[in-house]
């Protein structure tokens, strides 16, 4: 998503021709043909010619299309140096830029450049940077450039559009020029005149190109006005060559596609480029110019181009391939990429000593040679990955988890995650993506970590440190799609989409929700590339597996825009995934293979039973249940889906869904004195949801800061404002301050204790369990070799009187209080009243009792607490009943902090008072004046001991 930050600061030098457009209809034209800064110009856009995939959403519109633009004082500098007043928010309509429809996806706007952009008369304007967008900024064209002329005699080359290019032998080359006024024109090739005109404003000629390969021809058009004595002259030069003939030679032994370091200062570069004619290597070693000495050899089958480099200097050397003389690309297998437009914004503290982008390079990306690198030595050996049924995964986005967005700070944050107790981290996409500010689902290079988060070594250190803490690291891998800068998109391009002969990509996605460009996973070349990507990260970075984004999109069965048809069982897709899984397991037998699939359950079951893990999205179900009490999340149980293995990663939140606590605070129900929207109640209900998520057998996932009740919407912008669907992928405010809030810290503590149970007790990984999640009161029974666990909770917003329904009689332990109770035949099924939002965990085996006060429901329902232990000493409330105030007298041997918490019958916290007890007795007054008549509950907390008493207000 484009942001204002990007729009203002990017050095926009993306000419139309740089996107591969040759002769034909351009995206933007002007009337007059030679616009000047001080006169009105009409900009005319043909959206059908736009190449950016995001422009598709503009097609067919009759309104809501806007110009986003800037002006620059030089032909090659920042085209957005000057911007119209008020153009500040890319995600909102800009009224002065509203376009007028011409029909057939053509739009126009009229403006005077100097007036529209507010440029002083003393400053020249030589270029406009323009694009069209929807009002909300979700759809847009690529960045385009319009030349502005100084007036007087001007010359424009219409055809060919490139400055330097290659042609086939014996081809006829059409040349067309236009001048701003009648002139005498002369066209020469290598100094020989081939065409002239008299007093005319255009020239069209045909040039024979010859047959001699590799010879550079110089074409010059000069134009002179015939009006004397103020005659003016202008000229234009371009170059062409007949395509060279590469030397045929087999690949050297033991080299693969990409960069192969073969010795000190030596490397063999190999580019897989079937159906291409020739490839030159460009770099500082030839001043980024075409040099016959760097024409790459071609293998006998015509599929690969290679060259051996010697005497490479130590350090880093940028380079790129020039394919067929026109397409500049970086190496698709490079481990480091430089970005013309975005590297300048990466702080040195994040990526020290980042070399500058070579200005003479083609396009916006180059790859980097790094001979003599010292391999990173991982210090943690013998790391044991968590068993699937004990996995608690923490999904995080580096950008939105740590303030400076760096791997180093993320490494420093491992102590927090270790304290929480999770045993697996899933990093949202971190390989090179477009821009620096992104979720990462717009990948451009698959072997290079994006520099916006730090260096390769910093990422390896993070993974090593996580393993040392006993935490696995899973990468979110995006192999359903790639963005335009991915070399195998650019190399096989047909105007506005991948070409029909692309070895890797479909011209049109076979499924809905396609973004960018869609891989063909039945292609032999795509299969080989996917296998190479997975093997690289498993071996080079020691990652523990992958979460594959949009895995349902790995299909060639075309469902168009029919979402239901897309999810139907697809045997070819199943075969694709089994093949990928088998190849990964050949490299690493225990690596996790996780799919974001959401297809027909028969298909998911087959993949899960084969060994893959499936994402289980129950965000809507948990939100509904905690918001109103009405929600059934029984699908969180892998057994309900008939999976043979516990291979369902269930979650209540992920990066794609609305936040649970935000939803509760915005939309929660209110019943009597119980208001779900209040923060304390919402946090308590988040605890309830966590218990019924984490304790269900099978792997589970937490989305970052869910353990602290993050309550900003998914549509919150980086400045804290909320725009519906407008800031979905925008950076989110960091709220580490939540950890200092006492109520949020208790939610963290509940997560901590539940995770500890999940990861340390065999009972929570049992295959013998019963889940009843259909009603307002939900139950979970776990039967393990070491005992039975029984969880009961009231998701309603009012008290519920229910039968406890203990699974068996005998001695049980209440988890949060540690109290022991005896269940007999007489008491096992007696009725009790559960407060709204209350939940209780009982076990036949005693677990370590958590810190007191984490939940407000520590009192076990009265009918099953006959053996309640008495506190040391006594607590008296007087008067009781009371009118305006009571005094609480606490007598005990305890010394330390005492917390008095007054709640209504629905469990809502009304006030909390804390005092320090320094002697046997403590007297604490409590004000009741603002309370309505009724019964209230007073919880008195002394260290790990607590007691709840009734207070009657008259």
Distances (CA, A) of 132 to 86, 335, 613: 17, 34, 42
For residue 127, is it within any domain?
A: yes
Q: How many CA atoms lie within 13 A of 411 on its CB side?
A: 16
Q: Are 922 and 908 in contact (CB under 8 A)?
A: no
What would the two tokens of residue 560 be? 């168009």
Which among 358, 326, 433, 330 is positioned nearest to 18, based on CA atoms?
A: 326
**Rounded to an integer, what distance in angstroms lies between the CA atom of residue 914 and that of residue 898?**
6
- Asked if residue 780 and residue 925 are part of one domain, the reply reads no
What would the two tokens of residue 679 be? 């923060």
Side-by-side strand order, sheet with 885-891: 874-878, 885-891, 921-927
Q: Are 111 and 99 in contact (CB under 8 A)?
A: no
Task: Band the pLDDT of 527: cuts 50, 70, 90.
Answer: very high
CATH number of domain containing 846: 2.60.40.1180
Last residue of a domain, one of 113, 130, 147: 147
pTM (two decimals): 0.79
Neighbours of 557 (CB within 10 A): 14
Predicted local distance difference test score (pLDDT) of residue 897: 81
**Rounded to an integer, what distance in angstroms lies between the CA atom of residue 244 and that of residue 455?**
39
Q: What percent of the chain has pLDDT over 70?
A: 95
Instruction: Express each pLDDT in 128-185 by its tens digit.
Output: 999 999 999 989 999 999 999 988 899 999 999 888 888 999 999 999 999 999 999 9
Q: How many domains does the chain have?
A: 6
Predicted local distance difference test score (pLDDT) of residue 860: 63
Q: Is 220 left (phi over 0), alpha (psi -120 to 50) or beta?
A: beta
Q: Which of 550-554, 558-562, 670-674 has the highest mean pLDDT?
A: 550-554
- Asked if residue 668 and residue 805 are part of one domain, the reply reads no
- Asked if residue 127 and residue 35 are part of one domain, the reply reads yes
Q: Does the pLDDT of residue 828 top 80, yes or no?
A: no
Q: Does the pLDDT of residue 659 top 60, yes or no?
A: yes
For residue 490, is it within any domain?
A: yes
Q: Does the pLDDT of residue 6 top 50, yes or no?
A: no
Q: What is the mean pLDDT of residues 868-886?
A: 76
Q: What is the mean pLDDT of residues 769-793?
A: 95
CATH number of domain containing 626: 3.20.20.80
Instruction: Express each pLDDT in 359-413 by its tens digit.
Output: 999 999 999 999 999 999 999 999 999 999 999 999 999 999 999 999 999 999 9
**Rounded to an integer, what distance in angstroms lies between the CA atom of residue 769 and that of residue 48?**
58
Instruction: Express each pLDDT in 287-307 by its tens digit.
Output: 999 999 999 999 999 999 999
For residue 384, is it within any domain?
A: no
- Asked if residue 168 and residue 106 are part of one domain, the reply reads no
Last residue of a domain, one of 119, 147, 175: 147
- Asked if residue 709 and residue 613 are part of one domain, the reply reads yes
Q: Does the pLDDT of residue 582 top 80, yes or no?
A: yes
For residue 248, is it within any domain?
A: no
Instruction: Express each pLDDT in 198-218 by its tens digit.
Output: 999 999 999 999 999 988 899
Residue indicated by tokens 């952009």: 117
Q: Does the pLDDT of residue 827 top 90, yes or no?
A: no
CATH number of domain containing 222: 2.60.40.10
Q: Does the pLDDT of residue 722 top 90, yes or no?
A: no
Report CA torsion sign: 89, 93, 98, 100: positive
For residue 395, is it within any domain?
A: yes
Q: What percent of the chain has pLDDT over 90?
A: 78
Neighbours of 600 (CB within 10 A): 16
- Asked if residue 313 and residue 180 are part of one domain, the reply reads no
For residue 949, is it within any domain?
A: yes
- Asked if residue 745 and residue 773 are part of one domain, the reply reads no
**Rounded to an integer, what distance in angstroms lies between the CA atom of residue 941 and that of residue 854?**
11
- Asked if residue 601 and residue 692 are part of one domain, the reply reads yes
For residue 509, is it within any domain?
A: no
Cα-based torsion angle of the residue sequence 274, 279, 283, 289 in order, rounded to the nearest 10 degrees:
-150
Q: Does the pLDDT of residue 17 top 50, yes or no?
A: no
Predicted local distance difference test score (pLDDT) of residue 608: 98
**Rounded to an integer, what distance in angstroms lies between the CA atom of residue 187 and that of residue 301?**
41
- Asked if residue 532 and residue 403 are part of one domain, the reply reads yes
- Asked if residue 637 and residue 539 are part of one domain, the reply reads yes
Q: Does the pLDDT of residue 711 top 90, yes or no?
A: yes
Instruction: Express each pLDDT in 229-284 by its tens digit.
Output: 778 999 999 999 999 999 999 999 999 999 999 999 999 999 999 999 999 999 99
**Pairing assessment for the beta strands 327-329 and 258-263 based on DSSP bridges:** unpaired
Q: Does the pLDDT of residue 842 top 80, yes or no?
A: yes
- Asked if residue 323 and residue 174 are part of one domain, the reply reads no
Q: Which range of residues forms the domain containing residue 905?
A: 874-953
Return the HEC string of 425-484: EEECCCECECCCCCCCCCECCCCCECHHHCCHHHHHHHHHHHHHCCCEEEEEECCCEECC
For residue 510, is it within any domain?
A: no
**Rounded to an integer, what distance in angstroms lies between the CA atom of residue 715 and that of residue 722?**
6
CATH number of domain containing 933: 2.60.40.1930
Instruction: Express each pLDDT in 374-386 by its tens digit.
Output: 999 999 999 999 9
What would the two tokens of residue 157 be? 């080359």
Which among 800, 779, 782 is positioned nearest to 791, based on CA atoms?
A: 779
CB under 8 Å to 359, separation ≥6 — which residues? Answer: none
Neighbours of 22 (CB within 10 A): 12
Predicted local distance difference test score (pLDDT) of residue 892: 85
Q: Are 306 and 255 in contact (CB under 8 A)?
A: yes
**Rounded to an integer, what distance in angstroms lies between the CA atom of residue 269 and that of residue 478?**
26
Q: Are 639 and 601 in contact (CB under 8 A)?
A: no
Instruction: Express each pLDDT in 432-473 by its tens digit.
Output: 999 999 999 999 999 999 999 999 999 999 999 999 999 999
Residue indicated by tokens 């298909």: 603
CATH number of domain containing 43: 2.60.40
- Asked if residue 394 and residue 356 are part of one domain, the reply reads no
Last residue of a domain, one of 369, 397, 432: 369
Q: How many residues does the chain have?
A: 954
**Secondary structure (3-state) at 877:** strand
């Amino acid at each position: 998503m484009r942001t204002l930050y990007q729009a203002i600061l990017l050095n926009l030098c993306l000419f139309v021709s740089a996107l591969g457009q040759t002769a034909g209809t351009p995206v933007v034209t002007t009337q007059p043909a030679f616009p000047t800064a001080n006169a009105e110009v009409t900009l005319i856009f043909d959206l059908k010619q736009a190449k950016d995939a995001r422009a598709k959403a503009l097609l067919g519109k009759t309104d809501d299309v806007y110009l986003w633009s800037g002006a620059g004082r030089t032909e090659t500098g920042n085209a957005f140096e000057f911007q119209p007043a008020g153009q500040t928010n890319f995600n909102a309509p800009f009224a002065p830029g509203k376009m007028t429809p011409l029909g057939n996806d053509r739009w126009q706007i009229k403006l005077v450049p100097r007036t529209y952009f507010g440029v002083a008369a003393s400053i020249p304007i030589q270029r406009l940077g323009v694009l069209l967008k929807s009002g909300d900024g979700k759809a847009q064209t690529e960045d385009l450039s319009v030349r502005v002329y100084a007036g007087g005699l001007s010359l424009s080359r219409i055809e060919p559009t490139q400055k330097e290019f290659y042609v086939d032998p014996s081809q006829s080359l059409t040349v067309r020029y236009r001048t701003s006024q009648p002139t005498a024109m002369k066209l020469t090739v290598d100094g020989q005149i081939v065409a002239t005109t008299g007093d005319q404003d255009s020239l069209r000629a045909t040039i024979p190109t010859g047959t001699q390969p590799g010879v550079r021809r110089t074409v010059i058009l000069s134009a002179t006005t015939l009006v004397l004595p103020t005659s003016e002259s202008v000229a234009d030069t371009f170059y062409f060559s007949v395509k060279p003939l590469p030397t045929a030679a087999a690949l050297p032994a033991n080299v693969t596609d990409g960069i192969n370091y073969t010795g000190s200062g030596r490397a063999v570069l190999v580019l897989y480029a079937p159906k291409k004619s020739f490839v030159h290597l460009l770099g500082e070693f030839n001043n980024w110019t075409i040099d016959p000495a760097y024409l790459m050899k071609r293998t006998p089958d015509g599929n690969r181009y290679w060259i051996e480099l010697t005497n490479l200097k130590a350090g880093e050397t940028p380079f790129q391939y020039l394919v067929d003389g026109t397409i500049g690309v970086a190496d698709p297998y490079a481990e480091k990429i430089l970005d013309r437009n975005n590297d300048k914004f990466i702080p040195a503290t994040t990526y020290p000593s980042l070399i500058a982008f070579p200005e003479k390079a083609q396009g916006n990306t180059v790859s980097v040679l790094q001979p003599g690198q010292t391999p990173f030595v991982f210090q943690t050996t013998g790391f044991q990955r968590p068993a699937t049924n004990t996995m608690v995964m923490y999904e995080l986005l580096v950008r939105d988890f740590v303030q400076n967005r760096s791997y180093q700070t993320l490494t420093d944050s491992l102590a927090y995650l270790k304290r929480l107790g999770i045993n697996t981290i899933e990093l949202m996409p971190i390989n090179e993506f477009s821009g620096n500010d992104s979720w990462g689902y717009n990948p451009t290079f698959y072997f290079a970590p994006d520099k916006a988060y730090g260096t390769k070594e910093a990422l390896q250190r993070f993974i090593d440190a996580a393993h040392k803490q006993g935490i696995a690291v899973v990468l979110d891998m995006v192999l359903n799609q790639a963005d335009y800068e991915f070399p195998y998109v650019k190399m096989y391009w047909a105007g506005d989409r991948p070409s029909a002969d692309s070895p890797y990509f479909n011209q049109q996605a076979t499924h809905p929700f396609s973004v960018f460009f869609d891989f063909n996973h039945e292609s032999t070349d795509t299969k080989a590339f996917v296998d190479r990507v997975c093997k690289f990260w498993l071996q080079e970075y020691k990652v523990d597996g992958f979460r594959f984004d949009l895995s349902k999109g790995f299909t060639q069965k075309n469902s168009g825009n029919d979402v239901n048809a897309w999810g139907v069982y697809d045997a070819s897709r199943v075969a694709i995934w089994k093949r990928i899984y088998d190849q990964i397991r050949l490299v690493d037998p225990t690596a996790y293979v996780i799919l974001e699939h959401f297809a027909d359950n028969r298909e998911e079951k087959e993949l899960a039973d084969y060994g893959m893990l499936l994402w289980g999205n129950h965000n809507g179900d948990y939100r509904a249940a905690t918001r109103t009490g009405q929600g059934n999340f029984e699908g969180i149980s892998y057994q309900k889906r008939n999976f043979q293995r516990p291979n369902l990663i269930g979650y209540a939140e992920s990066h794609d869904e609305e936040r649970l606590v935000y939803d509760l605070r915005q939309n929660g129900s209110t019943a009597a004195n119980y208001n779900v929207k209040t923060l304390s109640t919402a946090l308590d209900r988040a605890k309830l949801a966590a218990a019924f998520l984490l304790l269900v057998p099978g792997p589970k996932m937490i989305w970052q800061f869910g353990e602290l009740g993050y309550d900003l919407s998914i549509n919150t912008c980086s400045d804290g404002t909320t725009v519906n669907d407008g800031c979905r992928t925008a950076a989110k405010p960091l709220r580490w301050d939540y950890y200092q809030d006492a109520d949020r810290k208790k939610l963290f503590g509940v997560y901590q204790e539940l995770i500890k149970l999940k990861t340390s007790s065999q009972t929570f990984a049992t295959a013998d369990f019963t889940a009843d999640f259909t009603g307002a009161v939900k139950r979970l029974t776990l039967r393990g070799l070491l005992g039975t666990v029984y969880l009961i909770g009231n998701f309603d917003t009012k008290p519920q009187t229910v039968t406890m329904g203990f699974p068996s009689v005998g001695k049980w332990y209440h988890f949060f209080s540690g109290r022991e109770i005896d269940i007999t035949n007489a008491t096992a099924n007696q009725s009790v009243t559960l407060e709204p939002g209350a939940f209780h965990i009982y076990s036949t085996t005693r677990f370590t009792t958590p810190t007191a006060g984490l939940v407000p429901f520590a009192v076990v329902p009265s009918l099953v607490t006959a053996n309640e232990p008495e506190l040391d000493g006594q607590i008296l409330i007087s008067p009781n009943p009371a009118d305006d105030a009571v005094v609480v007298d606490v007598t005990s041997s305890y010394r330390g902090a005492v917390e008095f918490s007054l709640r209504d019958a629905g469990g809502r916290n009304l006030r909390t008072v804390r005092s320090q007890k320094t002697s046997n007795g403590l007297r604490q007054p409590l004000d009741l004046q603002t309370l309505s008549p009724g019964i209230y509950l007073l919880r008195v907390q002394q260290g790990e001991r607590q007691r709840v008493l009734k207070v009657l207000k008259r």
